[in-house]
Structure formats: structure tokens, C-alpha cells
Amino acid sequence: MSTGIELADRVKNLPPYLFARIDQMKAEALRRGADLIDMSIGDPDMPTPAHIVEAMKRAVEKPEHHRYPSYAGMYSFREAVARWYERRFSVKLDPESEVLSLIGSKEGIGHIPLAFVNPGDVVLCPSPAYPVYSIATLFAGGEPHYMPLTEDRGFLPDLTTLPEEVLGRAKMIFLNYPNNPTSVSAGEDFFREVIDMARRHGIIVCHDAAYSEIYFDGKRPLSFLQVEGAMDVGVEFHSLSKTYNMTGWRIGFAVGNREVIHGLGRIKTNIDSGVFQAIQEASITALDTDDGLLSGMRATYQARRDILYEGLRGLGMEVVKPEATFYLWAKVPGGFTSEGFAVHLLEKAGVLGTPGNGFGDPGEGYIRFALTVPEERLREAVERIGEAVR
């Protein structure tokens, strides 16, 4: 019987959230008793480093952390972010006005259109991409304009093809390098092109750099903010989730243009009450950690990348060799759609990947695998996939 309760149009009109559907498929397989090798969602399988956990244990006992935190984040946390940015990228930030704590970078990405996008404004969104860029746009009443990321262009959007009418209405552009799901990085020339476009058309650049510390073969990704003029036009979102295996802790930060940071901060003061200070204190320990710790994590992911990349190529699959992130973007075999191949692997091999079309129409024909399982399970996954595609 109907209760008469009706969802708002902004919710009814949302596409199904990709990872919720993945969770449903996973639960159904586990109920059937499948021995599942889950490479669908980017949740690190390695634990948070012990010294960060110990710092959290000490911090949680401090009574001063049991009260409401600062909306912007503890000043000491914002100072640690600024130190990390200067050490890693040679970018100087003012902790007071150019750094803002977030309840994970997803929260900040989800809220920033509310600060700057009016109903009917355009937001330039890459596709395939993390779904939150376009969903956040829709929540703000904006209109996503999708920029295809295709292999022939190195998975960089072709800014020269954006119509003048669209650019005239655009308030914001979302970018993400190193890129999820394609695993490629962007260079300085591309970022300069973005900055030039943003200046000419008054567009705010929102760069999601959550994977900047997971890179391979010694090729360190750039920060967007390293490029001259970037601070004039945009901000960068970062997260401790992937860098320090802290996905469940829910802490990240936005840095960059002080007017944009202020606008996002105004939304947050009206919506949330900040990040638990004990988590912020433990995160200071993380941000001040020597890069040797991250080097070991990168070595683990690179070994996993090589196993899966070479293994799938050995099966005759076309695979993009990851430059960064812990994802592998592969073309599905002929005769399959993205979703059809994902279901086929789940049913025939007990291997779960993410269908590429779930990230946007240009992702059709691809599947994404996350390198978040141990090496022996990756080798087993290659064997199972081989049997399933014979």
C-alpha cells in the first residue's frame, strides 16, 4: 500500500549509483557461496600504517577532541597539509585561507557546486569518470556537459571541441588526474590549456588529485597547482584515503584559490560540523610521514599491476598500462558489452570487475579492475578469466 511519500525530483531523476549496483551483485554472488575475487571497488586491502593508528589511539583519549571541531579544520591540520604540499609539489599554501578540511574528498566534491552553480549553469564533466562529478552538478540544479575521454587522445578531453555556447554558460570544470578509471596522468601542457580556457571564460577548475601518490615506474604526477596561474582559477581536492589506506577514516582536504575555498567553506558551515579532531591529529602524523612508507606501498601496487597487466595481455586482451592509480582499464573481448562481460566473469569465473559504461557512455567496451587484492589472488584471477573467455 502506498504511503503517499514521494521522493524529490532531484533524487528520482538520478541514475543508479554505480557502486551500489556493484555491492548488490557482490552480495548475490556471496549468497550463492561463490569464492569471489573482488576487484570492483577501489578500497585498499592493506591496513592503515601502525604509527597512524597509534597516533589515533592517543588522540582519541584527549578530552579537548570530544567537542565540536572547527568547521575549517584544526589549524595544525591545515598547517600539516601546507607542509605536505610544499614538500611534495613545491606549492606554498596559506593554511588560514587556502586549505580546508573535508570529510573525505568525496564530500567536498559533492558540495562545491552548491556554492557556485545556479540552476541552468553548465558544469564540464569528464566521461568516463567518478560519478560524483555529474551527480553533484545535478543536485545543484546544474547541467553536466560531458567531455569524452578516449584512448586515441590519451584519455584527455579535447577542450577545442567545446561549443562556445557551452563555454559561455559554464561555471565549473571537473578534472581528475591521475585518472579513475583510465589510470593515466596529465602533463603540464594540458593543465596550461585548462588554465587558459578557465581564464577566458571565467570557469572554476576543480581538480581531483586523490591518486597522486600511487604512481609507477618513478613517474611522479603533477599537482594542477604547480602550473603557473592555477591558483587564480581553481582548487585541488585530496584525500588521505588512498594515500595512507584510510578510506574508512573519512578525511581529506581542498586547497587552492582562497575565494573558491571560502565559498565551499560557507556551504560546509551550514551542512556539517567538521571532522573529528582525533582523526585530524592522527592525519597530521600521516602527512608528516617520510615518503619511504609510500614508496613501499607503490612497490606493492606496481608488482600487482605487472601481474594483472601481463596476465590479461597474455590472454589476448587489450589493456591500458597503468601509469598511476590502482586501477587497470581493459577492453572487453569482442561480442560482449561492458556489463555483459562483467556479469559473465562474475558467473563463470567468480571475478568481479566494474563495467566501464557505469562511468559514462564513452566507457562502453571497457572494464575496470582494482589492484586491491594480493598477488596470488591476481594470478588466480587471470587463470579464471582465461578459462571464462576460452
Helices and strands: H and E segment counts in the chain: 15, 13
SS3 389: helix
Kindly list the strands in the beta sheet with 170-176, ordered across the sheet, starting from the edge strand earlier in the chain.
99-102, 252-256, 234-239, 204-208, 170-176, 122-127, 143-148
Rounded distance between C-alpha atoms, residue 224 and residue 175, angstroms: 10
Rounded distance between C-alpha atoms, residue 39 and residue 355, angstroms: 11
The predicted structure's pLDDT at residue 1: 54
C-alpha cell of residue 157: 578531453
Whole-angstrom CA distances from 203 to 113, 129, 173, 185, 224 are 12, 19, 7, 22, 15
CATH class of this structure's domain 50-290: alpha beta
Q: At what angle do helices 75-89 and 277-287 cross, to 10 degrees?
A: 20
The predicted structure's pLDDT at residue 14: 80
The predicted structure's pLDDT at residue 160: 97
User: Are domains 9-47+292-389 and 50-290 of this chain identical in fold?
Assistant: no
The predicted structure's pLDDT at residue 18: 67
- Contact in structure between 172 and 198 (CB atoms under 8 Å): no
The predicted structure's pLDDT at residue 27: 87
- Per-residue pLDDT of the chain (390 residues), as tens digits, is 567 899 998 888 887 766 677 778 788 888 888 899 999 989 999 999 999 999 999 999 999 999 999 999 999 999 999 999 999 999 999 999 999 999 999 999 999 999 999 999 999 999 999 999 999 999 999 999 999 999 999 999 999 999 999 999 999 999 999 999 999 999 999 999 999 999 999 999 999 999 999 999 999 999 999 999 999 999 999 999 999 999 999 999 999 999 999 999 999 999 999 999 999 999 999 999 999 999 999 999 999 999 999 999 999 999 999 999 999 999 999 999 999 999 999 989 999 999 999 999 999 999 999 999 999 999 999 999 999 998
- Measure the N-to-C terminal CA separation of the chain; round to a whole number of Å: 49
Whole-angstrom CA distances from 378 to 42, 89, 311, 328, 356 are 15, 33, 9, 12, 20
Whole-angstrom CA distances from 61 to 240, 250, 326 are 22, 19, 35
Each domain of the chain, given as residue ranges in start order, spans 9-47+292-389, 50-290
Q: Which CATH number fits domain 9-47+292-389: 3.90.1150.10, 3.40.50.970, 3.30.365.10, 3.30.1490.20?
A: 3.90.1150.10
C-alpha cell of residue 162: 567545446
Which backbone phi and psi does 199 adopt, to 5 degrees?
A: -65, -45
